[in-house]
Structure 1
Amino acid sequence: MPEAASAQPTRATLGASEFDRDTALTPREPGVYDIDLSAGWTIINAVNGGYLLAVLGRALADALPHPDPFTLSAHYLTASQPGPAVVRTETVRTGRTLSTGQASLFQFDEQGREVERIRVLASYGDLDSLPDDVRTTAKPPAIPPMEQCFGAEDGAAPVDGSSAIADRLMLKLDPSTLGWALGQPSGKGEMRAWFGLADGRDPDPFSLLLAVDALPPTAFELGLSGWVPTVELTVHVRSRPAPGPLRVSITTRNLAGGFLEEDAEVWDSDDRLVAQSRQLARARLA
């Protein structure tokens, strides 16, 4: 009997990925959506901010006349937990090329009171209608080939209890930003990695919202440890990403008063800058 051919891994398609299922919302009435936040996107029991932004991003895409997020500014008010949540959206303005809306995500606390977790103001458009003219001084980050980088499966899991989201990501970190994992942080406040979804689904504008907040915090390379919760996150989606893995570069230049900023760039397989972000996060100093 001939030897069986080795099985080829199955890649998830857009719309059929775990990410798509876990960010899908159920319309309750116009502008109101229900969702069960998945425990699969948690970091130390709190739901990841990029995953939450993708959830609200999808709600706004349904509520607004334009399909694609161009810019989103999110304020994280209280820590979200896995479980039922409600998203409420409001259309602020609609125009020919851009529409603007806001969305909030709510959950109930132990006393049964409704608590707002995150509030977003966003503008949407059509990425496919943008001109091809690009004039830039930006350059893709210098990251070694993927086979020379390291993921959680190689022993680089950043924090106890953070493996839930790590299991859903293809994250290969640049060795030069892994000093923290060896007890030798560089002090530079830099983090770089290859990024994708573990099931092989290609990137789209909504997975870019996850990518900007999915790497280990730059605070680790500054010699800090523990949870670094996001206070505010603004994302600019610049182009629809090409198929294939993304490269993400995040830098911090200033930690002061217990807060730091993180500036992120996301580059696609065609060497295009497809997303940028800046967030303010709280760092645990002791």
Structure 2
Amino acid sequence: MPEAASAHATQARIGDSEFDRDTAVTRREPDAPGDPSVPGVYDIDLSAGWTIGNALNGGYLLAVLGRALADALPHPDPFTISAHYLTASRPGPAVVRTDVVRAGRTLSTGQASLFQYDDEGRETERIRVLASYGDLDGLPDDVRTSAKPPAIPPVDQCFGPEDSPEPVPGVSAIADRLMLKLDPGTLGWALGSPSGKGEMRAWFGLADGRDADPLSLLLAVDALPPTAFELGLSGWVPTVELTVHVRSRPAPGPLRVAVTTRNLAGGFLEEDAEVWDSADRLVAQSRQLARVRLD
């Protein structure tokens, strides 16, 4: 077991943590007895606690839609979920509308969209998701892989925003809700000497000690600083599209997350992420396309 597996004592429990409260959706009920039902419609107040600068984190938003789909579909766990980020989401009221596309014996597929009102009072779609859900506990134990966990120094040899004598660029309210310890080998950008390699590696957990579950994995894949920072770029790196594959229910303890970029072209880059649990299992993978500022 990794040296950091017991470094963060569990405090909050799955289902009773800040992450759970801030991703909780309320199924909309009929206005009065006898009214037609409102199937698959959910309300939420998006929390400002998950912002980076003025923008809500894309992984947090994906977890919100993922929770709504877990309620709407007959299966509990996201196996694959793809999101297109259409317009910037803001803290405050939002509506999630879901639709069951197909309900099978082992997999069910649904779609969901998140809506808010813009400055002119018009309802605007922020995110659209297509996902397939199943039951991770029902998967066979057979694993055949050439993938290896990332080599990250022990957590006490890594660094988080709280270790910096000055404010870290790109860090905002979300930093207070995460246990994020970055590999010193991917911290050149914070010291003014980016490596140019397009890599980020870190230990990851929730600050209140809640263990990871499939929904929090949707946050983990998008929680590290952008790899663009290690390429010598700065500023906001908004996600255009993000696809996550959840492979296993994570074991208790902190996660290790590794993110790489191999190609930046035309003002866009890809980020490939792997998430490993304390039992050395690859529990989630993702790829996203993001826009970067080149000037």
| TM value normalised by structure 1 | 0.96
Residue 159 of structure 1 and its aligned partner are, at CA, apart by: 2.1
Q: Distance in 2 between matches of 1:10 and 1:221?
A: 32
Tell whether 2:21 aligns with 1:21: yes
| Residue 199 (structure 1) aligns with | 208
Tell whether 2:220 aligns with 1:211: yes
| Residue 251 (structure 1) aligns with | 260
Q: Distance in 2 between matches of 1:200 and 1:68?
A: 22
Residue 158 of structure 1 and its aligned partner are, at CA, apart by: 3.9
Residue 157 of structure 1 and its aligned partner are, at CA, apart by: 5.3
Query: CA 1:30–1:170 in structure 2 vs 1: closer, same or farther (change >3 Å)?
Result: same
Identity %: 85
Tell whether 2:169 aligns with 1:159: yes
Query: CA 1:216–1:95 in structure 2 vs 1: closer, same or farther (change >3 Å)?
Result: same
Q: Distance in 2 between matches of 1:26 and 1:95?
A: 25
Answer yes or no: is the 8 Å Cα contact 1:265–1:277 preserved in 2.
Answer: yes
Tell whether 2:130 aligns with 1:138: no
Choose the corresponding residue for 1:127, options 99, 121, 136: 136
Answer yes or no: is the 8 Å Cα contact 1:40–1:165 preserved in 2.
Answer: yes
Tell whether 2:116 aligns with 1:107: yes
> Given residue 107 of structure 2, which amino acid in structure 1 is its aligned partner?
L
Choose the corresponding residue for 2:271, options 257, 262, 284: 262
SS in 1 for 2:66: helix
SS in 2 for 1:166: helix
> Given residue 186 of structure 1, which amino acid in structure 2 is its aligned partner?
S
Choose the corresponding residue for 1:233, options 242, 250, 270: 242
Q: Distance in 1 between matches of 2:143 and 2:191?
A: 40
Within-5 A mapping of 1:275-286: 275-286=284-295
| Residue 3 (structure 1) aligns with | none
Q: Distance in 2 between matches of 1:243 and 1:185?
A: 33
> Given residue 151 of structure 1, which amino acid in structure 2 is its aligned partner?
G
Within-5 A mapping of 1:162-181: 162-181=171-190
| Residue 5 (structure 1) aligns with | none
Query: CA 1:9–1:31 in structure 2 vs 1: closer, same or farther (change >3 Å)?
Result: same
Answer yes or no: is the 8 Å Cα contact 1:264–1:276 preserved in 2.
Answer: yes
Q: For each residue in 1:157-197, what CA deviation from the matched residue of structure 2 results, as whole angstroms up to 9, or x when unmatched? A: 5425x320000000000000000000000000000000000
Residue 10 of structure 1 and its aligned partner are, at CA, apart by: 6.7
Residue 9 of structure 1 and its aligned partner are, at CA, apart by: 6.9
Q: Distance in 1 between matches of 2:255 and 2:221?
A: 11
Long gaps (5+) in structure 2 = 1-7, 29-37
Q: Distance in 1 between matches of 2:174 and 2:294?
A: 24
Query: CA 1:183–1:80 in structure 2 vs 1: closer, same or farther (change >3 Å)?
Result: same
Answer yes or no: is the 8 Å Cα contact 1:151–1:157 preserved in 2.
Answer: no
> Given residue 127 of structure 2, which amino acid in structure 1 is its aligned partner?
I
Answer yes or no: is the 8 Å Cα contact 2:10–2:210 preserved in 1.
Answer: no
Residue 44 of structure 1 and its aligned partner are, at CA, apart by: 1.1
| Residue 33 (structure 2) aligns with | none
Answer yes or no: is the 8 Å Cα contact 2:243–2:288 preserved in 1.
Answer: yes
| TM value normalised by structure 2 | 0.93
Q: Distance in 2 between matches of 1:30 and 1:248?
A: 37
> Given residue 251 of structure 2, which amino acid in structure 1 is its aligned partner?
A
SS in 2 for 1:57: helix
Tell whether 2:230 aligns with 1:221: yes
Q: Distance in 2 between matches of 1:272 and 1:236?
A: 14
| Cα RMSD, aligned residues only | 1.2
Answer yes or no: is the 8 Å Cα contact 1:249–1:265 preserved in 2.
Answer: yes
Choose the corresponding residue for 1:75, options 64, 76, 84: 84
